Structure 1
Amino acid sequence: MHKAKDFSLGYEYNFDTKETRNLPTREISAIAPAGAINSSANDMAKWLRFILSGGVAGSKRIVSEKGFGEWLKPQMKITPNGSVSYGFGWFLQEWKGKKVVQHGGNIDGFNSMVAMIPEEDLGFVMLTNVSASTLGNDLMEIVWSGILDQEKSKPLTAQELKEVGKYTITQAGIDIEVAVEDGKLVAKVPGQPTYILEKTKDRKYRLGGAPEGFYITFNDTEALLEQPQGNVTIKKKAAENVAAADGDNPAKELIGLYESEQQKGMTIEIKDVAGKTSLVVGTQPPYGLVNKEKDLFSAPPLPDAFSIKAARDDSGKITGITLIQPQGNAEFKKIEKDSIKAGIDLTIDELITKMVEAQGGEENLKKITNREVAFEQDWINQGVKGFGKAFQASPGKSSSETTLTALGKKIGWIRSYFNGKNGGDEYSFGRDEIYTGIRLEDAKSQNDFYQFFDWKEKFEKAEITRKDKVGDEETYVVSFKPKTANAFTLYVSTKTFLPLRRISLAVSSTSPQTIPISDVYSDYRNIDGIMIPYKTVTTNPGMGDIITTIKEIKQNVKIPASVFEKK
């Protein structure tokens, strides 16, 4: 690539330090089969035409029709319901009932996306010189809707939603109702058709479909109805005026707690934040919900490609929501209020005390000052296995090094380290990462050797939210919010009081994305008076399941300080 006169430099943006830095070009021949190709927009456009032509280049067929069909056919499910699947090297999903074929690429300083809707003979290629950009996913919605949507209405603004309510024509004794239908403001007059309000300027609207000369101009307490037979001031009813604090937002009906159908234990919440019905996901800022049409909401400042759709039962009751997003939809089931606190028969103080006792008790736990663990791994969805060692030391140090193998041969290694203050990740096949910002705070919290000692000083909030099951075993679901790190959730057995599952978020300083991580613990064994799970199944949407099995544990051994430092 560097032989070209106009080759591109790659960059990385750090969301914590707000710095942009140029990244050196990395030698990637070891992973060349994964796509070590340097290309241009012109060449990629030719590639796109080849695919949209069904395997034909110019007038010559390169791939048989049968082979081409297999190439773009689902071979495995990515989401349990099959809404996102994988073909031979393609992610397959849908956009408004149309098949989308896409795949992105990412390497130090560069990011790309190739995406198509073959039935519409439509596709695009995006090449950008920054790591881990979300532009590819954002552009899919922009391109598809911009070209294929006949009419794309913008979400109503907060000011426009203020007009919603009932207005009384005192002289006639009737009410005009201003409401939202299909993402548009409408006026409903008894005995007349519904009028779509067409904005002319500021807060003045024309009554679409009415004869010429009918307009309505709003202020906060009343509106002026202009009509050929004479203008009338109509008063806004007080009850609706109060409701309009959140624009009389239909999103209020969605308020509640929701659990992921694909990733049990991961929850999101829709609640009132400063008078605005908002979607709250982990430690991300709240996203105020704006009604687009019945049961469909946008969430500014997220791009239009992201929206929330309500699910109802036959009686019209809200049963869940679907997060509509370019990378695949995510379904969430509403947790009913009555079941949230049902059966909780002890306080958070009592539960944490029992959990510490179940793990060996404070006295025994304090006797252990460090730990060396030999382990094996099976990355069952990747066809990869691994082995290595992990080290922990009080008060908050850790490191691990994993050798990865495929078909019995070494293919690479991963190393993580944290010295109590600073840390990072090192790879044989990727760019090293230094922890900063929230990622650094997460490392401090997660590596606390005695995390639940003096827990009231470490956590901003801890509460038992409900009961649930891990497999067949009943658990208390406990939410923890450290003072400076991301929240996490523990599922603690109601029988043994041992943690059976942990839900947390993986974050990066150089990517805006957060990834939900689930760890399921089993095969607890007593080692030096301490209960330790010998098996952990870690699940994340990108890698699938990784099974880690402990082969040997040594405690209170000599561990060099250099183990916890960058190599």
Structure 2
Amino acid sequence: DEDLQAYEYKPMRNVDNIGPAGAINSNVLDMAQWLRLQLGRGEYEGRRLISEENLRETWATQIDITESVGYGMGWIIREWEGQPVIEHGGNVSGFSAQVAMLPESNLGFVLLTNASASPLPPQAINMVWGTLLKEETTDTGGATADYEPYLGKYIANFGQFQDTVFTVLVQNDRLAVDVPGQQVFELKEPDEEGKWYFAISNEVAVSFERDESDNVISMKMYQAGMVFDLPREGFEIAPDIPLEELQKYLGSYRSEQLGVTVEVLVQNNRLAADIPGQMVYELYPPDEE
């Protein structure tokens, strides 16, 4: 039971060498005031502290990360439902943080957690935006749809989930996913790509894979730009590469520069990398390079 599991206490690390990125200590009350300064375009409680021109410059893209994501001066810039999002997050041992703003809607968000790494902060942003800004949908799901092929248990091994059962069920005439420790997320009807988006957020979706006999054998979860495979209970994901060919890569890889040891292993019949303080990342087969 993950709600009863023990967690290891980790003493504070000296992070002076990454001071600009990870050595600021704060709390949600102070961070809320800082967000007020940001959303006030440099003005706080009637007093101008930073010129609006200079503040907006920090929000401007300086480097393109992808076609839709840029990096400003300490900020990641992207869009949500056509609005610019100004955000950044990160973690050090024992702590994760996420800060985000929708300046056009005058909304700010901060979430601080006592965990070294968690998928919750970045995903919570879009759930909050969706809850506060999206109008209630008239889509009531597929009351007459046949959800039976999808119902059942799927095994998650990513992030904080280790052999955790996600249950697909029907709630309020909609297909839904019960995520342990979180809630039951109702799904919208699938789009043309077969993705069922969470009703409360267009940033998380699932799809289902079938075998040659048309049986649903796995569920894919799409979030934070990553794709996670959850095999259905009783099924295995077919290996992309024969397992015997993967054996030569297994073992421990040490980086003295980073001070970490990465374990390379097999998970879900795929080569995977277990990075301390983060998660086990399953790997796709190599490309031509």
Pairwise TM-score range, normalised by the shorter structure: 0.5 to 0.7
Q: Secondary structure at the match of 2:50?
A: coil
**What are the equivalent positions in structure 2 for 1:16-31 lying under 5 Å apart?**
19-31=6-18
Q: Equivalent of 1:305, from 203, 211, 214?
A: 203
Aligned position for 2:270: 487
Q: Which residue of 1 aligns with 2:231?
A: none
8 Å CA contact 1:85, 1:93 repeated in 2: yes
Q: Matches of 2:273 and 2:262 in 1, distance apart?
A: 14
What displacement does 1:293 show? 6.3
Amino acid at match of 1:292: E
Residue in structure 2 matched with residue 468 of structure 1 by the alignment:
none
Report Cα offsets for 1:326-374 as digits up to 9, x if no partner.
x3599xxxxxxxxxxxxxxxxx99xx9xxx9xxxxxxxxxxxxxxxxxx
The offset of 1:155, in angstroms, is: 7.5
TM-score norm. by structure 2 comes to 0.62
Give the drift of 1:146: 1.2
Distance 1:123 1:307 in 2: 24
2:50 counterpart of 1:63: yes
Aligned counterpart in structure 1 of residue 189 of structure 2, from 276, 287, 292: 292
TM-superposed deviation, 1:25: 0.9
Residue 281 (structure 2) aligned to one of 514, 537, 557: 514
| Counterpart amino acid of residue 514 in structure 1 | Y
Alignment pair present for 1:75 and 2:62: yes
CA contact (8 A) 1:111 1:127 kept: yes
Cα distance in structure 2, aligned partners of 1:92 and 1:520: 29
In the TM superposition, 1:80-99 aligns within 5 A as: 82-99=67-84
Q: Is residue 2:101 matched to residue 1:116?
A: yes
Gap change, CA 1:71 and 1:111, over 3 Å in 2: same
Tell me the CA shift for residue 60 of structure 1.
Answer: 3.0
Matched, 1:41 2:41: no
SS at match of 2:60: coil
Larger strand proportion of the pair: 1
Alpha-carbon distance between aligned partners in 2 of 1:277 and 1:94, rounded to the nearest angstrom: 34
The structure 2 residue matched to 1:149, chosen from 117, 128, 134, is 134
Give the structure with higher Rg (CA): 1
Instruction: Give the structure 1 partner of residue 179 of structure 2.
Output: none
Query: Counterpart amino acid of 1:27?
Result: N
Q: Structure 1 residues 428, 38: CA separation in 2 closer, same or farther (over 3 Å shift)?
A: farther
Residue 276 (structure 1) aligned with residue 150 (structure 2): yes
Distance in 1, Cα, partners of 2:284 & 2:62: 25
Deviation sequence 1:70-114 (CA, Å, 0-9, x none): 2111222222xx222211111111111111111002000100000
SS at match of 1:514: strand
Structure 2 CA distance for partners of 1:30 and 1:145, relative to 1, 3 Å: same
What letter corresponds to residue 51 of structure 1 in structure 2? Q
Output the CA distance in 1 between the equivalents of 2:107 and 2:205.
23
How far apart are the structure 1 equivalents of 2:167 and 2:137?
21
User: Which residue identity is paired with 2:127?
Assistant: I
* Equivalent pair of 2:89/2:96 in contact (CA under 8 Å): yes
Secondary structure at 2:9 match in 1: strand
CA distance in 2 between counterparts of 1:153 and 1:515 reads 38
Q: Distance in 2 between matches of 1:509 and 1:73?
A: 33
Q: Distance in 1 between matches of 2:90 and 2:76?
A: 12
CA distance in 2 between partners of 1:303 and 1:506 (Å): 29
Helix, strand or coil for the counterpart of 1:130? coil
Q: Which residue of 2 aligns with 1:103?
A: 88
**Where in structure 2 are the equivalents of 1:472-551 lying within 5 Å?**
486-487=269-270, 505-508=272-275, 510-512=277-279, 514=281, 516=283
Equivalent runs, 1:359-370 vs 2, <5 Å: none
Q: C-alpha separation between the residues in 1 aligned to 2:81 and 2:284?
A: 29
CA gap 1:283/1:138 in 2 versus in 1, 3 angstroms: closer
Distance in 2 separating the partners of 1:60 and 1:117 = 22
Look up the SS of the partner of 1:34 in the other structure: helix
Indicate the RMSD between aligned Cα atoms, in angstroms.
Answer: 4.4
What's the offset of the Cα at 1:299?
6.0
Following the alignment from structure 1 to structure 2, what is the Cα–Cα distance between the partners of residues 42 and 299?
A: 33
Question: How do residues 202-221 of structure 1 correspond to structure 2 at under 5 angstroms?
Answer: none
Contact 2:15 2:22 (8 Å CA) reproduced: no
**Alpha-carbon contact 2:189-2:196 (below 8 Å) kept:** yes
Q: CA contact under 8 A between 1:102 and 1:116: conserved in structure 2?
A: yes
Q: CA deviation at 1:40?
A: 1.3
Q: Shift of the alpha carbon at 1:62?
A: 2.9
> Could you tell me how far apart the structure 2 residues matched to 1:115 and 1:297 are?
26
Change (3 A) 1:293 1:428: closer
Superposition map of 1:194-343 within 5 A: 244=146, 246=147, 275-276=149-150, 291-292=188-189, 295=192, 297-298=195-196, 305-307=203-205, 325=223, 327-328=224-225
Question: What letter corresponds to residue 298 of structure 1 in structure 2?
Answer: W
Question: Structure 2: how far apart are the matches of 1:277 and 1:44?
Answer: 42
Question: Contact (CA 8 Å) 1:112, 1:125: kept in 2 or not?
Answer: yes
1:125-136 to structure 2, matched below 5 A, reads 125-136=110-121
Compared CA separation, residues 20 and 59, structure 1 to 2 (3 A): same
Counterpart code for 1:140? I
Give 1:122 shift. Answer: 0.2
Residue aligned with 2:189, SS: strand
- 3-state secondary structure, aligned to 2:23: coil
CA–CA distance in structure 1, aligned partners of residues 119 and 34 of structure 2: 22
**Is contact 2:262-2:274 (8 Å) kept?**
no
Q: Go from structure 1 to structure 2 and tell me whether the alpha carbon gap of 1:43 and 1:507 turns closer, same or farther (over 3 Å shift).
A: same
Query: Which blocks of at least 5 consecutive residues in structure 2 are unaligned?
Result: 159-164, 169-174, 176-186, 208-220, 228-240
Structure 1 residue matching 2:14: 3-state secondary structure: coil
> Relative to structure 1, is the Cα distance of residues 97 and 118 closer, same or farther in structure 2, using a 3 angstrom cutoff?
same
Structure 1 pair 324–146 and aligned structure 2 pair: CA distance change class (3 A)? same
Contact persistence 2:63–2:70 (CA under 8 A): yes
Query: Partners in 2 of 1:518 and 1:58 — Cα distance?
Result: 55
